[in-house]
Amino acid sequence: MSAMPIHKLHKHEKGHKEIGDERYELRLSGSGGHGVILAAVILAQAIGSDREINVVQTQSYGPEARGGASRSDMVVSREEIYYPKTMKLDLLLAFTQEACDKYARDIKPGGLLIVDSNQVTKIPIKNCYGFPFFRAAREQVGHPMAANVIALGTIAELIGIVPREALRAVVRERSPKGTEEMNLKALQVGFDMARGAKRH
Amino acid sequence: MSAMPIHKLHKHEKGHKEIGDERYELRLSGSGGHGVILAAVILAQAIGSDREINVVQTQSYGPEARGGASRSDMVVSREEIYYPKTMKLDLLLAFTQEACDKYARDIKPGGLLIVDSNQVTKIPIKNCYGFPFFRAAREQVGHPMAANVIALGTIAELIGIVPREALRAVVRERSPKGTEEMNLKALQVGFDMARGAKRH
ipTM here: 0.85
Beta carbons of B36 and B29 less than 8 angstroms apart: yes
pLDDT at A69 over 90: no
Q: Mean pLDDT: which of A9-13, B63-67, B129-133 is highest?
A: B129-133
The single-letter DSSP state of residue B111 is: E
pLDDT at A174 over 60: yes
| A103, containing H or E segment | helix A97-103
Q: In this complex, do A54 and B66 lie within 8 Å of one another by their Cβ atoms?
A: no
CA distance B144 to chain A (A): 13
Work out the pLDDT band at A147, boundaries 50, 70, 90: very high
pLDDT per position as a tens digit, B72-94: 999 999 998 988 899 999 999 99
Q: Distances in Å between the alpha carbon of B114 and those of A66, B29, B94, B121, B194?
A: 31, 10, 6, 12, 11
For residues A144 and B105, the model is more confident at: B105
Report d(CA A151, CA B98) in Å as an integer. Answer: 35
pTM for the full model? Answer: 0.87
Q: Does the beta carbon of A169 lie under 8 angstroms from any beta carbon of chain B?
A: no
Residues of A in contact with B84 (CB under 8 A): 58, 60, 84-85
The partner residues of A58 in beta bridges, in order of sequence, read A73, B58
Q: In this complex, do A57 and B59 lie within 8 Å of one another by their Cβ atoms?
A: yes
Report d(CA B62, CA A60) in Å as an integer. Answer: 21
Average pLDDT of the residues of chain B? 87
pLDDT per position as a tens digit, A3-21: 222 333 333 344 434 566 6
Beta carbons of B168 and B187 less than 8 angstroms apart: yes
Q: In this complex, do A48 and B65 lie within 8 Å of one another by their Cβ atoms?
A: yes
Helix axes A164-174, A180-195, angle to 10 degrees: 150
pLDDT at B19 over 80: no
